[in-house]
Amino acid sequence: MERSYELTRAAKDGDVTTVARLLGAGVVVDALGEDARTALDLAAQENHADVVRVLLGAGADTAAHAGPYHDLTPLTCAAMYGSTDAVAVLLDAGVSMAAQDRIPYTPLVVAAGDNHAETVALLLDRGADIEDRAMKGRTALEWAACLGRVEAVLLLLDRGAEATDTALRCAERHAGRGEEERGRYGRIGAALRAALGHDAA
């Protein structure tokens, strides 16, 4: 048990040498650590691409539940934290960007929802469906607009995401909640109105 904890700690810390040594000594690659998370889950979150690569080579489960609340996969966890290098390694290994069974989140939606523009760009470059509605019937743009993620909204629009009245209504609804919100959601609303061909007023 203690050695499995050592593996997950080393993975979280980015200690690729210790990870490789423990795997070579027979520690199970998908063993759970102290917080019931796997080494791959933690390495993906912390953007330790070299550790992710070693764990994948040892057969780590890329579809296992991951994240602080165990409601993600290693890929969606990496995307949520903006761990772009880890996302790239997982994609290189053939991990699907589609929603998984019982886990409806997609990496594009969570990256956009947390305003990680670099990760969003990578996912789009790798073929993510910009109009996918797997998560509660909303696109990544609509989620980003509702959450006030300016950089993600602008990037998605620039990359061809369809501006929708749903996204605009959500941004306008939040714009009146305070000065900070007015600034963020005002920029989003202006960008969406321009994309929709509405008057700026």
Using one digit for the tens of pLDDT, what is the confidence trace for 56-111?
Answer: 999 999 999 999 999 999 999 999 999 999 999 999 999 999 887 677 789 999 99
Length of the chain as a residue count: 201
Q: What percent of the chain has pLDDT over 70?
A: 98
pLDDT at 200 over 60: no
What is the amino acid identity at position 162?
E
Domain residues of the chain, as ranges? 1-95, 101-201
Using a cut of 0.85, tell me whether the model's pTM lies above it.
yes
Structure-token pair, residue 83: 């761990």
Half-sphere exposure of 21 (CA within 13 A, CB side): 7
- The mean pLDDT value for 110-122 works out to 97
pLDDT at 201 over 90: no
- The mean pLDDT value for 43-47 works out to 98
Q: Is there a common fold for 1-95 and 101-201?
A: yes
74 near 41, Cβ under 8 Å? yes
Distance between CA atoms of residues 31 and 75, nearest Å = 18
Structure-token pair, residue 136: 């509660």
In a 10 Å sphere around its CB, with 0-12 CB exposed, 13-18 middle and 19+ buried, how is residue 70 labelled?
A: middle
- The mean pLDDT value for 164-180 works out to 88
Q: What is the pLDDT of residues 54-67, one digit of tens each?
A: 999 999 999 999 99
Nearest to 32, CA basis, from 86, 70, 58? 70
pLDDT at 159 over 70: yes
Give the count of beta carbons closer than 10 Å to the beta carbon of residue 17: 11
The pLDDT value recorded for residue 101 is 67
- The mean pLDDT value for 125-152 works out to 95
SS3 126: coil
Give the count of beta carbons closer than 10 Å to the beta carbon of residue 197: 7
Give the count of beta carbons closer than 10 Å to the beta carbon of residue 182: 14
Among 104-118, 149-163, 178-192, whose mean pLDDT is lowest? Answer: 178-192
Nearest to 11, CA basis, from 78, 63, 70, 71? 78
CATH class of 101-201: mainly alpha
Question: What is the distance of C-alpha 173 from the center of its chain?
Answer: 25
Distance between CA atoms of residues 160 and 90, nearest Å = 25
Check: CATH 1.10.10.10 for 1-95? no
Distance between CA atoms of residues 43 and 78, nearest Å = 9
